[in-house]
Amino acid sequence: MLKPLGMACETIEVYAPEHFVIHRVDGGFEVSSKHGALLGVAATFPAARDLMSDGTHEQLYAVHDMRLTESHRAAILEKAFAAWG
């Protein structure tokens, strides 16, 4: 669907937490255990990561991705794919 716009799918690697969850909230980030217990609130993402105990870690996953440049975004909006913009 987006190939005519010069876009292509690629594979990137992202880290996903195994033992905790970080959610963006108004004014910062909430950190919870994988079971939902609130561990703390931080103003910045690095500060939220600092709330993790030494035993926590993240797993590296390969996922599909599309890089969206400003020209791609403009073309998508112009072609009526507003949900992608």
Transcribe 37-64 into DSSP letters. -EEEEESSHHHHHHTS-TT--EEEEEEE
Q: Contact at 8 Å (CB) between 22 and 30?
A: yes
Q: Would the pLDDT of 1 be above 80?
A: no
pTM of the model: 0.50
pLDDT tens for 3-46 read: 777 788 889 888 777 778 888 999 899 998 888 889 899 999 88
pLDDT tens for 39-77 read: 899 999 889 888 876 666 677 889 988 888 888 888 878
The pLDDT-based confidence of 82 (bands split at 50, 70, 90) is low
Tell me how far apart the alpha carbons of residues 79 and 72 are, in angstroms, rounded to a whole number.
11
Tell me how far apart the alpha carbons of residues 49 and 57 are, in angstroms, rounded to a whole number.
10
